[in-house]
């Protein structure tokens, strides 16, 4: 029997890191086994489901490269797969039919209890220190009693008989699990009085009808699994194999949440995490490859993935490691690919500076290309490109006199050095020879002649032309800036420093 597994997000929030990992493990497992990866949208929580969230989920999966074999129609693309529809709100008739079958077999029954009765039951249970459960008032009504209630116009919910037993299953991650159904709250409502289905029922009906062989999902669903197993049995369906993935934890080992961590995939994407890194990092967040290697592409993960190396203990989300991995994957992009991915980040950054009232010139294609070797190895996230190189495109950079003066120097030495450096560049290096290799020797010689540490001189120049203390390598930076701008900025920085009160050190 070929593997069929599904990712079944509820569009009640944006696609988050935990959801991505669940989708990824399902995808990897399906691909590795030559099976099908199915996307099912669980949108029956009408009050909280939103089209924007569904779009965010679909876009996110698509961006990551987790293409599904079967799933709903999206943005004009036709639905795929023979088990549709793949949105639960389009499957209401199927749930009703399934409930009918259960009612016919007396595996479910109509329940007429009023909210007041259920409330009173709950209070009595609380007082008696019992866990909340349905008392079974309507479980044994005769046909006549039911008719009488119908005649009164009472609308019934449908309850599924849960019974008393220990449900056992072998989870691929958690091992043998046994749960006593008496802890599960009694007979389970599967349809509300308006005929709309409840969550556990839709999951079981869909997994059965879509012939799902492996249910791979978050640990928070572990305790619901016995309910699903009972429903599978009642529906006459095969029971799938389960794999419950470990929780993702904040560094303080609490469950990862929006409050403490950034959870939305789109936020990582906007920061300039690349898909290769997110896929790689999340694959290893709870699964081990069994080797020392750390960097894997999606196809390599497919080759190696197996559910039996998924850990059962919580996996701590380590942003620093993700950033490190992101830097690694950014470096591995081809020049073209890097350029294509980095440019929008730079453009957005420059637009923000323009909106902030600064004069910005538009980067030219050739300039951007020249920047690649200078920055590709230096970015933990693509969005860092803005701060790293915007000084090249700002008409004026703000230079802090305090920063211009290196620690071991005073204002006078700095002024002298900037003027001397400007002289060297103006007199010794022509526009044609304005290359990093040509710039370095004369400036080193200057430092030597005057008895300055080359590092101090270079820092003063760096701050003078960029306004920053950290930039790509100095001489490449000067080349990128061009001879005229370099001279002009050295000039301006000298003026700034000369006009400033002597900084107190």
| Segment lying near ligand GLU (by CB under 6 A), choices 7-15, 54-62, 244-252, 268-276 | 7-15
User: And the tokens for 484?
Assistant: 């005229």
- In angstroms, what is the minimal distance from the CB of 221 to ligand GLU? 5
What is the C-alpha end-to-end distance of the chain, expressed in Å? 76
Among the residue ranges 6-14, 136-144, 233-241, 365-373, the one whose residues contact ligand GLU (CB under 6 A): 6-14
Residue 77 β-bridge partners: 74
Sheet with 108-111, strands from edge to edge, namely 108-111, 157-160, 188-191
258 in active site:
yes
Which CB, 88 or 466, lies closer to ligand GLU?
A: 88
Q: Which is nearer to ligand GLU, 15 or 111 (CB)?
A: 15
Helices 51-64, 17-32: crossing angle, 10 deg rounding: 50
Q: Which of 3, 5, 10, 439 binds ligand GLU (CB under 6 A)?
A: 10
Q: How far apart are CA 326 and CA 337, in angstroms?
A: 15
**Residue 8 CB, nearest distance to ligand GLU (Å)?**
4
205 binds ligand GLU (CB under 6 A): no
Torsion of CA 467, 473, 476, 477, to 10 degrees: -10
Draw the binding track, 25-54, toward ligand GLU (x: CB under 6 A; -: no contact). -----------------x------------
Nearer to ligand GLU, 133 or 221 (CB): 221
Closest CA to 265 of 38, 64, 403: 64
Instruction: Report CA-CA distances (Å) from 273 to 68, 157, 268, 354, 391.
Output: 22, 48, 6, 25, 23
**Is 203 among the residues that bind ligand GLU (CB under 6 A)?**
yes
Cis peptide before 356 (omega within 30 of 0): no
Of 2-10, 126-134, 250-258, 320-328, which part binds ligand GLU (CB under 6 A)?
Answer: 2-10
The residue at minimum Cβ distance from ligand GLU is 217
Q: Check residue 217 for interaction with ligand GLU (CB under 6 A).
A: yes
Judged by beta carbon, residue 87 or residue 483, the one nearer ligand GLU is: 87
Residue with tokens 């943005």: 75
| Rounded least distance, CB 224 to ligand GLU, Å | 8
Contacting residue, 3, 4, 5, 8, with ligand GLU by CB under 6 A: 8
Query: Which of 89, 93, 41, 88 lies closest to 68, judged by CA?
Result: 41
Report the residue number, 9 or 472, with the smaller CB distance to ligand GLU.
9
Interacting residue with ligand GLU among 101, 122, 161, 221 (CB under 6 A): 221
Instruction: Tell me which stretch binds ligand GLU (CB under 6 A): 5-13, 172-180, 261-269, 425-433.
Output: 5-13
**Could you say whether residue 9 binds ligand GLU (CB under 6 A)?**
yes
Does residue 202 touch ligand GLU according to CB under 6 A?
no
Residue tagged active-site, from 155, 258, 260, 453: 258
The smaller minimum CB distance to ligand GLU, of residues 9 and 35, is found at: 9
Q: How far is the CB of 337 from ligand GLU (least distance, A)?
A: 33
Distance separating alpha carbons of residues 366 and 429, to the nearest angstrom: 22
Only segment of 3-11, 126-134, 260-268, 402-410 that touches ligand GLU (CB under 6 A): 3-11
Q: Please give the full DSSP string across 134-162, using - where no structure is assigned.
A: ---TTTT--HHHHHHHHHTTPPPEEEE--
CB 130 within 8 A of CB 85: no
224-to-30, 356, 456 alpha-carbon distances in Å: 23, 52, 65
**Alpha carbons 234 and 237: distance in angstroms, whole number:** 8
Question: Does residue 231 belong to the site contacting ligand GLU (CB under 6 A)?
Answer: no
Q: Which residues are identified as catalytic?
A: 258
Question: Footprint of ligand GLU on this chain (CB under 6 A)?
Answer: 8-10, 42, 203, 217, 221
């Amino acid at each position: 029997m070929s593997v069929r597994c599904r990712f079944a997000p509820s569009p009640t929030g944006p696609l988050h890191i935990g959801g991505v990992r669940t989708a990824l493990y399902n995808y990897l497992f399906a691909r590795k086994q030559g099976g099908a990866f199915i996307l099912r949208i669980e949108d029956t929580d009408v009050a909280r489901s939103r089209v924007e969230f569904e779009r965010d989920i679909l876009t996110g999966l698509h961006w990551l490269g987790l293409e599904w074999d079967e799933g709903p129609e999206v943005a004009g693309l036709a639905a795929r797969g023979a088990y549709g529809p793949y949105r639960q709100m389009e499957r209401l008739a199927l749930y009703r039919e399934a409930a009918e079958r259960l009612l016919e077999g007396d595996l479910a029954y109509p329940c007429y209890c009023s909210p007041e009765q259920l409330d009173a039951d709950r209070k009595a249970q609380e007082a008696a220190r019992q866990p909340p459960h349905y008392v079974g008032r309507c479980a044994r009504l005769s046909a006549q009693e039911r008719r009488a209630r119908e005649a009164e116009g009472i609308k019934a919910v449908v309850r599924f008989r849960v019974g008393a037993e220990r449900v056992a299953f072998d989870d691929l991650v958690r091992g043998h699990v046994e749960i006593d159904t008496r802890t599960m709250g009694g007979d389970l409502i599967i349809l509300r009085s308006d005929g709309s289905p409840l969550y556990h029922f839709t999951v079981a009906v869909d997994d059965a009808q879509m012939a799902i062989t492996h249910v791979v999902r978050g640990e928070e669903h572990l305790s619901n699994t016995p309910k699903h197993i009972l429903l599978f049995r009642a529906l006459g369906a095969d029971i799938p194999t389960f794999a419950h993935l470990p929780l993702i934890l904040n560094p303080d080992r609490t469950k990862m949440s929006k409050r403490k961590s950034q959870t939305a995939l789109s936020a990582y994407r906007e920061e300039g995490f690349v898909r290769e890194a997110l896929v790689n990092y999340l694959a290893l967040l709870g699964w081990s490859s069994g080797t020392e290697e750390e960097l894997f592409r999606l196809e390599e993960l497919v080759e190696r993935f197996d559910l039996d190396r998924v850990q059962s203990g919580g996996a701590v989300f380590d942003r620093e490691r993700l950033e490190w991995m992101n830097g690694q994957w950014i470096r591995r992009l081809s020049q073209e690919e890097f350029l294509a991915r980095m440019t929008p980040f730079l453009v957005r950054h420059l637009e923000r500076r323009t909106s902030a009232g600064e004069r910005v010139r538009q980067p030219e294609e050739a300039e951007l290309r020249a920047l690649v070797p200078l920055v590709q190895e230096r970015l933990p996230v693509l969005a860092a490109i803005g701060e790293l190189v915007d000084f090249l495109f700002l008409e004026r950079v703000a230079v802090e006199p305090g920063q211009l003066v290196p620690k071991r120097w005073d204002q006078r030495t700095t002024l002298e050095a900037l003027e001397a450096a400007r002289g060297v560049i103006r007199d010794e290096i022509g526009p044609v020879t304005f290359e990093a290799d040509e710039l370095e020797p004369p400036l080193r010689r200057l430092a030597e002649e005057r008895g300055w540490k080359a590092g101090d001189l270079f820092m003063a120049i760096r701050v003078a032309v960029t306004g920053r203390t950290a930039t790509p390598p100095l001489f490449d930076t000067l080349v990128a800036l061009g001879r005229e701008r370099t001279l002009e900025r050295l000039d301006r920085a000298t003026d700034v420093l000369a006009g400033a009160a002597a900084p107190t050190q």
